[in-house]
């Protein structure tokens, strides 16, 4: 399975407002575009959302494209010291995305995740 969404590093709390997506050039940008000053972050210490048990789909709602995230399994993510790293946000959440991002995600995942 291709992984597209991440928590950037262990300094970021694993929650909806700090979810980042992988760009075509392999860098990370936060979905929350009020944090766009951080665009181009390194993937060196990133943890895939799937490690927290979070999976996603793209759904169209009226004229908007929405990412729908749901925690489907328990977290297997760990800190560097081996301690379990739990998801600290809502177990399901949605995020409106641009058409361009939706097309990029569908291109790389053929519209499928899990």
How far is 17 from 2, CA to CA, in rounded Å? 22
Can you give the pTM of this predicted structure?
0.85
DSSP assignment of 40-68 equals: SB--TT-EEGGGGTEEEEEEEETTEEEEE
DSSP conformational letter for 110? T
DSSP conformational letter for 78? B
17 inside domain:
yes
**75: phi then psi, degrees, rounded to nearest 5:** -70, 140
Average pLDDT of the chain is 88
Task: For residue 90, give its domain range.
Answer: 5-76+85-109
Residue 114 has pLDDT above 60, yes or no: no
Which comes out higher in pLDDT, residue 75 or 114? 75
Number of domains forming the structure of the chain: 1
pLDDT at 1: 40
114 inside domain:
no
- Over the stretch 41-77, which tens digit does the pLDDT of each residue have? 999 999 999 999 999 988 888 888 899 999 999 999 9
């Amino acid at each position: 399975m291709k992984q597209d969404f991440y928590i950037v590093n262990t300094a970021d709390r694993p929650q909806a407002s700090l979810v980042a997506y992988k760009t075509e050039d392999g860098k990370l940008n936060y979905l929350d575009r009020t944090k766009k000053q951080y665009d181009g972050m390194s993937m060196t210490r990133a943890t895939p959302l799937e490690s927290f048990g979070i999976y996603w789909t793209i759904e169209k709602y009226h004229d908007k494209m929405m990412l729908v995230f749901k925690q489907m399994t328990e977290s297997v993510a760990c800190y560097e010291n081996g301690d379990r790293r739990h998801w600290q946000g809502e177990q399901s959440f949605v995020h409106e995305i641009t058409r361009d991002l939706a097309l990029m995600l569908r291109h790389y995942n053929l519209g499928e995740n899990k």
